[in-house]
Chains A and B, each alone.
Chain A
Amino acid sequence: MATAMAKGTTESLKEQNRWQRSALRYLGRSRSAQVGLAIVALAITLSLGAPIFAGTDPSAMEPTAILQPPSAEHYFGTDNFGRDLWSRVLYGGRISILVGISVAAATTLTGVLIGTVAGYFSRLDNVLMRAMDILMAFPPILLAIGVMAILGASLINIIIALVIPYTPRAARIVRAEILHLREQDFIQAARSLGMTDFRLITRHLVPNSLTPLLIQQTFIVALAILAESGLNFLGIGVPPAVPTLGNILADARQFLRTSPWMALFPGLFISMLVLGVNLLGDGIRDVLDPRMRR
């Protein structure tokens, strides 16, 4: 019996490995995933390596070189305080990437937690899902603005303000999967073998419910980056002294007529980063959700 089960497990593992390999191969073949991955990798390398690539301090002011157009010395030109925009864009990119990844990771956690509890423990289902409905009643960007108004401007508050509106969607996806899985034979079998709720959830239910959520979460990275830059552009994100892509663009508004490069490069950086994430997301979705392959 034990050997039979062990054999079954190895075979299912082999099956899984084969599937994963073919999925990776498919992802490798998908043109949009390749382009997306290349863009994202470039953006992450440049931003994480900002101290190496930037050359100058993003806050260092050079009063003799204000609003300079792009040149060999200042690739992206300088702003109204003579600060190097190439350096500010790279450091701003760090914040965008940090917020995008943190928000996606945190909503995965909260979504899995709430969705699993709601889906598995029927007594808590109603309470939790009604709470999620209430959060979904607010438009996401407005809920984020409201939370920022309450908590005040800071980086961690931006992350909190974005996790709150994006959690309900993640929780709903996980709950739907858990509800479906709960009735499957292999879960009934594991339960009748005396598996505890905790083990059942962590070993079988959660790992098997993750695929649809992971598809969604790539797009959450993109949405969070756009929302973060939006909040900073509106001046209700992080304190204005911190270089973020949104802050630079807000400052650039006044100088649009005379120094358009100040608005061009930070916006281009956000757009390319988000485009890369979206392309990668499309690629991942095509692999994990074969119905969408076309």
Chain B
Amino acid sequence: MGSYIIRRLLAFIPTLLVVSFLVFMMTRLVPGDAAAMMLGQEATTEQREQLRQELGLDRSVTEQAITWYGNAFRGDLGHSYFLHQPVTEALVSRLPVTLSVTLFAMFFAIVVGISAGVVASVRHGRFLDWGVMLIAIFGLSIPVFWLALNMIFIFSVRLGWFPTGGYVPITDGFFEYLRHLFMPSIALGLAYTALIARMTRSTMLEVLQQDFVRTARAKGLGQRIVILRHALRNALIPIITIIGISAGELLAGSVITETVFNLPGVGRLIVDGVRRRDFPVVQGGILIITLSYLLINLIADLLYAWANPRIRYE
């Protein structure tokens, strides 16, 4: 296991370097002049020149890349032209929002997804199975933002149970914090709940047909113990993989959820950045989300290897 972890960590370093290089290249890949694009039509030549200098576009790519890596390594991701604020500062202040929504959504997806999948597999071919799978395929087909709009209309506008959007930090009261995050988390998590439910069901159906399950039943173990202790445990390996993939995508999916619910998170920062052509912010945001995504996938891989010894020796 130790050598596997070291191997994976070593493979992680070049990925980090190349990914950040691509993010760095963004301003260079813009067709035409990135500075002119950011400033729009009314800008004077001096303003453009000044921004070109600030972005480092007047220097060679190599020189610029070295500076970028040096600064990024020290946590300096440049300055936002529109927010009048260092990009790192903007990201740090918005990260708790994104992490909160993602964690709640993941919690919801795992708990509800696995339970629904297990129930469906136990009641295979019956009404409940059919119902769960129908809801799951709907969950995979509804766009997050439309689901969110429906939830806002029903639970906020009509019933008034939840706020239509916005964020309250946990320090201003735990209850209000939860109330504001409840709908965004469910909207974000539903598609992955469906994915996990489908995966759990199909793996469980496979495991339930195996001999050891029959043996467990034959020796008189109760249904509960057979399902949870024997079958689910053996079905968990592929479920862990799908959870790992989901966790990373949930983080990226917050881009849309945060926009619908007006949450001041990293995702909305990126979207606003793209609209305003605020490249340093877009670069910083994409970099931080992608790094977290890679880190989550790495952890999922390590967990997977821990749960399944065959992987480690490949």
Contacts and interface: CB of A to CB of B under 8 A. Distances in A.
A260 B294 CA distance: 39
A282 B202 CA distance: 13
A203 interface: no
B289 interface: yes
A134 B157 contact: no
A292 interface: yes
A249 B146 contact: yes
A230 B252 contact: no
Contacts of B144: 230
B15 A137 contact: yes
A275 B141 contact: yes
B77 to A, nearest CB: 15
Interface string B235-263: 00000000000001101110110011000
A278 B248 contact: no
A148 B152 contact: no
Contacts of A127: none
B279 interface: yes
Contact of A270 (B146, B205, B253, B256): B146
Contacts of A279: 137
A141 B255 contact: yes
A18 B248 CA distance: 44
Nearest to A133: B15
Given A138-B290, A149-B26, A263-B149, A271 B142 contact: yes
Contacts of A274: 140-143
B22 interface: yes
B72 interface: no
Contacts of A151: 31
A230 B256 contact: yes
A278 B140 contact: yes
A124 interface: no
Contact of A230 (B30, B143, B202, B293): B143
Interface string B259-278: 11000000000110111010
B153 A139 contact: no
A142 B286 contact: yes
Size class of the contact patch on chain B: 35 or more
Interface in A197-225: 222
B138 interface: yes
A27 to B, nearest CB: 17
Interface stretch (A51-59, A65-73, A182-190, A233-241): A233-241
A142 B282 contact: no
B107 interface: no
Contacts of B275: 235-236
Interface string A129-161: 000011001111110011011111000000000
A236 B255 contact: no
Interface in B2-35: 15, 18-19, 22-23, 26, 29-31
Nearest to A256: B153
B149 A249 contact: yes
A229 interface: yes
B274 A149 contact: yes
A263 B143 contact: no
Given A149-B279, A230-B144, A256-B157, A282 B274 contact: no
A222 B141 contact: yes
Contacts of A152: 31
B93 interface: no
Contacts of B143: 226, 229-230, 233, 267, 270-271, 274
Given A234-B259, A267-B146, A146 B282 contact: yes
A123 interface: no
Contacts of A146: 23, 26, 282, 286
Nearest to B27: A150
16 contacts: A133-B15, A137-B19, A139-B251, A141-B255, A142-B255, A142-B289, A142-B293, A148-B274, A149-B279, A233-B143, A233-B145, A233-B256, A235-B275, A236-B271, A263-B150, A275-B137
Given A151-B31, A260-B157, 8 more contacts: A139-B249, A140-B252, A226-B143, A233-B143, A236-B274, A236-B275, A271-B143, A278-B140
